[in-house]
């Protein structure tokens, strides 16, 4: 799969799944605009990509809840490249709490980043894609399919991502924009690294393949869905979960 000349925008790109995805797309020739609010980690990502001979990675500070920042970044991309070929909506946070204890702030923070942030980015980028077509991919979760105790806010956003994916696939097809989502299972990321060992053991045992996934597993799914090999795939949610949802 070759991505030479392709402009890929990735949010939540500084760590975990986003970082692996940025490195993989650059390895395959894409010019990657890696967006995040974690400036130090973005700088590390840029440094780690400097030896690449195919594509490139440019780190850009971007808060997906801030429309002014989004308009500025998209405007700069338009001025430099005149297009965006691929958008990968990966920015996401958790603020876990049981329903009766969840604060309004915890609810709003997760909704704003995980749901409104994806809306903001897709709206802005699709306007630039509509003349030449493109691909929009978003990170959902198995939690958006079957729920999870203590994650009312997170589950709501990941279910919402699925609904938006189906809707946008229908709306944007006329512009040759494909829209799909990936629903990861239990993946080794900074978001999960602080969980107690008993929780890790439980999730491993619950997964039919009896293993926890790596960020590269999700990055590979994004790479396929963004490629011409998936040119006839739109409006789909690909579970990459070791069989967790069967």
pLDDT digits (tens, 9 = 90+) for 188-232: 987 777 777 887 888 899 999 999 999 999 999 999 999 999 999
Q: How many CB atoms lie within 10 A of CB 191?
A: 14
DSSP secondary structure of the chain: ---TT-EEEEES-SSHHHHHHHHHHHHTT-EEEEEES-HHHHHHHHHHTTT-SS-EEEEEE--TT-HHHHHHHHHHHHHHHS---EEEE-------B-GGG--HHHHHHHIIIIIIHHHHHHHHHHHHHTTT-EEEEEE--THHHH--TTBHHHHHHHHHHHHHHHHHHHHHGGGTEEEEEEEE-SB-STTTTTS-HHHHHHHHHHSTT-S-B-HHHHHHHHHHHHSGGGTT--S-EEEESTT---
Q: Is residue 42 over pLDDT 80?
A: yes
Contacts made by residues 154-157, CB under 8 angstroms, sequence distance 24+: 154/94, 154/95, 154/96, 154/110, 154/114, 156/110, 156/111, 156/115, 157/92, 157/110, 157/111, 157/114, 157/115
What local confidence, expressed as pLDDT, does residue 60 receive? 98
Q: How confident is the prediction for the chain on average, in pLDDT? A: 96
Instruction: Reply yes or no on whether the pLDDT at 185 is more than 90.
Output: yes
- Beta-carbon contacts of 92 under 8 Å, excluding residues fewer than 6 positions away, are 12, 113, 114, 139, 157, 191
Q: Distance between CA atoms of 214 and 184, rounded to whole angstroms?
A: 10
Helices 215-226 and 16-27 sit at what angle, rounded to 10 degrees? 50
Query: With b meaning 16 or more CB within 10 Å and e meaning fewer, what string describes 8-17?
Result: bbbbbbbbbb
pLDDT the model gives residue 193: 75
* Residues with catalytic roles: 154
- Sole residue written with tokens 């198995």: 142
Q: Flag whether pLDDT at 14 surpasses 90.
A: yes
**Which CATH class for the 7-240 domain?**
alpha beta
Compute the CA torsion angle 121, 124, 130, 135 (nearest 10 deg): -10
pLDDT at 39 over 90: yes
Distance (Å, whole) CA 85 – CA 102: 39
According to the model, what pLDDT value does residue 199 have? 78
Give me the pLDDT at residue 192, please. Answer: 77
User: What is the average pLDDT across 149-174?
Assistant: 97
**Residues 170-199, mean pLDDT to the nearest whole number:** 90
Specify the pLDDT at position 222.
Answer: 98
Mean predicted confidence (pLDDT) in 135-147: 96
pLDDT band, residue 52 (cuts 50/70/90) = confident
**Token digits of residue 14:** 């500084």
The confidence band for 51, taking pLDDT boundaries of 50, 70 and 90, is confident
* Rounded mean pLDDT, 156-169: 98
Q: What is the pLDDT of residue 134?
A: 98
Predicted confidence band of residue 2 (pLDDT cuts 50, 70, 90):
confident
């Amino acid at each position: 799969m070759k991505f030479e000349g392709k402009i890929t925008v990735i949010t939540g790109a500084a760590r975990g799944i986003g970082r692996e995805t940025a490195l993989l797309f650059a390895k395959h020739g894409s010019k990657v605009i890696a967006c995040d609010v974690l400036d130090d980690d973005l700088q590390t990502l840029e440094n780690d990509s400097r030896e690449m001979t195919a594509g490139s990675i440019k780190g850009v500070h971007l808060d997906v809840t801030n429309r002014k920042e989004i308009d500025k970044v998209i405007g700069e991309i338009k001025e430099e490249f005149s297009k965006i070929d691929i958008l990968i909506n990966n920015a996401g946070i958790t603020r876990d709490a049981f329903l009766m204890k969840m604060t309004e702030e915890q609810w709003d923070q997760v909704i704003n980043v995980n749901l409104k942030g994806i809306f903001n980015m897709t709206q802005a980028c699709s306007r630039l894609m509509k003349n030449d077509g493109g691909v929009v991919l978003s990170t959902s979760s198995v939690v958006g399919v079957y729920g999870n105790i203590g994650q009312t806010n997170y589950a709501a956003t990941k279910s919402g991502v699925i609904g938006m994916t189906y809707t946008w696939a229908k709306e944007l097809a006329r512009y040759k924009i494909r829209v799909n989502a990936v629903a990861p299972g239990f993946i080794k990321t900074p978001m999960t690294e602080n969980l107690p060992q008993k929780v890790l053991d439980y999730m491993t045992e619950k997964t039919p393949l009896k293993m926890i996934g790596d960020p590269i597993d999700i990055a590979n799914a994004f790479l396929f869905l963004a490629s011409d090999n998936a040119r006839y795939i739109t409006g789909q949610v690909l579970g990459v979960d070791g069989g967790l949802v069967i």
